[in-house]
Amino acid sequence: MMRLYILLFIFVVGLMACNSQDVYAASDVHGHVSSLVFDPSELDLGEAVEGEKVTATLLIRNNSQGFAQIVKVESSCGCTTAEPETRMLSPGSFTALHIEVDSFGKRGDVRKSITMIDQYGEKSIAWLTLHVKPNPHAMGENRSIFDGECASCHVEPAKGKVLGSDIYKAVCVMCHGAGAKGAYAPSLLAMHDEDVLGELIANGTGTHHMPAFAQKKGGPLTQKQISVLAKWIISLDE
Q: What is the per-residue pLDDT for 150? A: 79
Residues 91 and 170 in one domain: no
- For residues 220 and 213, the answer to whether their CB atoms sit within 8 Å is yes
- The reply to whether 7 falls in a domain is no
Which of 59, 119, 69, 64 has the alpha carbon at shortest distance from 91? 64
The reported pTM is 0.68
Residues 162 and 130 in one domain: no
Domain end among 111, 138, 165: 138
Give me the mean pLDDT over the 129-133 stretch.
Answer: 95
Residues 115 and 182 in one domain: no
**Domains in the chain: how many in total?**
2
pLDDT digits (tens, 9 = 90+) for 24-44: 222 344 455 679 999 999 999
Residues 103 and 192 in one domain: no
Label residue 114 exposed, middle or buried (CB < 10 Å: 0-12, 13-18, 19+): buried
- For residues 23 and 29, the answer to whether their CB atoms sit within 8 Å is no
Residues 125 and 161 in one domain: no
Residues 172 and 121 in one domain: no
- The reply to whether 8 falls in a domain is no
pLDDT digits (tens, 9 = 90+) for 91-127: 999 999 999 999 988 888 999 999 999 999 999 999 9
Alpha-carbon span 106 to 145, nearest angstrom: 10
Domain end among 99, 116, 138: 138
Domain end among 138, 163, 183: 138
Residues 49 and 99 in one domain: yes
- The reply to whether 69 falls in a domain is yes
Alpha-carbon span 230 to 214, nearest angstrom: 13
Residues 43 and 122 in one domain: yes
Q: What is the per-residue pLDDT for 118? A: 95
The H-or-E segment that residue 189 falls in is none
**Which amino acid is present at 50?**
E
- The reply to whether 220 falls in a domain is yes
Residues 107 and 83 in one domain: yes
| CATH code: domain of residue 89 | 2.60.40.10
Residues 97 and 49 in one domain: yes
Residues 74 and 165 in one domain: no
- The reply to whether 12 falls in a domain is no
| CATH code: domain of residue 203 | 1.10.760.10
Residues 85 and 133 in one domain: yes
pLDDT digits (tens, 9 = 90+) for 199-236: 999 999 888 888 899 999 999 999 999 999 999 999 99
Domain hosting 154: range is 144-235
* Confidence label for 147 from pLDDT (cuts 50, 70 and 90): confident
